[in-house]
């Protein structure tokens, strides 16, 4: 089965709210995680990554949190905008130090104006 | 140029046709990838080329044949496909251990 997955298939938020997208992984040996955004009709776009020696990493309006104890990853988007509407995938690197991502199932974020 | 381009954008083919998908990048990346993505599903890795050599084949059926003519180009040759092969085919490139850059994909329909 899949080693990376997401809890919710769809998340609806109001413009301006903060969004939190969650992801669970099962491979405790994974040491690199990535969040991708895929807009309709486009390929996935890298958002932010985090290594297992970190708990938190911040980007522009996005924060990724990693809880290795419970094998949980989350993506927080501050002040969500309509342009943030997309499918978000978490991914983990393959075993053996490879940087080829294994994608989770995806969460569709819908931002209402 | 920080783009991965893919042609065609859309392709409709019959089960007896032979067609090719093309991917190009000019970022100097030495790793290139083919993924298959079905609707509402995550991308699934098919092939990886590293330094123009095939390094990973995820047990893909032989009706899909990848080719890397040079470090900037990646092709996927299609022959005798099945309707269940209809999907979005994504190409990506990376500088080995860095983030992957994805192209917009080719939407393939097999009749």
Rounded to a whole number of angstroms, the distance from the CA of B36 to the nearest CA of chain A is 11
Rounded to a whole number of angstroms, the distance from the CA of B25 to the nearest CA of chain A is 14
pLDDT tens figures, B47-76? 999 999 999 999 999 999 999 999 999 999
Rounded to a whole number of angstroms, the distance from the CA of A111 to the nearest CA of chain B is 18
pLDDT tens figures, A17-42? 999 999 998 888 888 899 999 999 89
CA distance A51 to A92: 10
| pLDDT band with cut points at 50, 70 and 90 for residue B17 | very high
φ, ψ for residue A82 (rounded to 5)?
-55, -30
Residues from A in contact with B at Cβ < 8 Å: 34, 41-46, 49, 89, 91, 99-106
Q: Which of A48, A2, A3, A40 is nearest to A21 (CA)?
A: A48
Mean pLDDT of B3-9: 96
Residue A31's pLDDT is 86
Weakly modelled stretches of chain A, pLDDT under 70: 1-8, 95-99
A32, A92 in Cβ contact below 8 A? yes
Q: Which of B32, B31, B28 is nearest to B75 (CA)?
A: B32
Task: Check A100 against B33: CB less than 8 A apart.
Answer: yes
**Tokens standing for residue B99:** 């983030």
Residues of chain B with C-beta less than 8 angstroms from the C-beta of A89: 42-43
């Amino acid at each position: 089965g899949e080693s990376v997955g997401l809890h919710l298939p769809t998340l609806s938020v109001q413009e301006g709210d903060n969004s939190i997208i969650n992801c669970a992984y099962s491979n405790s040996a994974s040491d690199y995680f990535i969040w991708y955004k895929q807009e309709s009709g486009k390929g996935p776009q890298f958002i932010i990554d985090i290594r297992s020696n970190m708990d938190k990493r911040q980007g522009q309006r996005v924060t990724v949190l990693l809880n290795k104890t419970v094998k949980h990853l989350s993506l927080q988007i501050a002040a969500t905008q309509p342009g943030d509407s997309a499918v978000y995938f978490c991914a983990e690197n393959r075993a053996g130090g490879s940087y080829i991502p294994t994608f989770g199932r995806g969460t569709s974020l819908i931002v209402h104006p | 140029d920080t783009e991965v381009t893919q042609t065609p954008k859309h392709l409709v083919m019959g089960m007896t046709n032979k067609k090719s998908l093309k991917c190009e990048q000019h970022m100097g990346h030495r790793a290139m990838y083919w993924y298959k993505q079905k609707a509402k599903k995550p991308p699934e890795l098919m092939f990886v080329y590293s330094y123009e050599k095939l390094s990973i084949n995820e047990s893909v059926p032989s009706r899909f044949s990848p080719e890397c003519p040079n470090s900037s180009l990646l092709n996927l040759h299609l022959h005798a496909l099945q309707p269940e092969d209809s999907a979005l085919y994504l190409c990506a490139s990376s500088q080995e251990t860095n983030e992957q850059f994805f192209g917009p994909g080719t939407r393939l329909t097999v009749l």
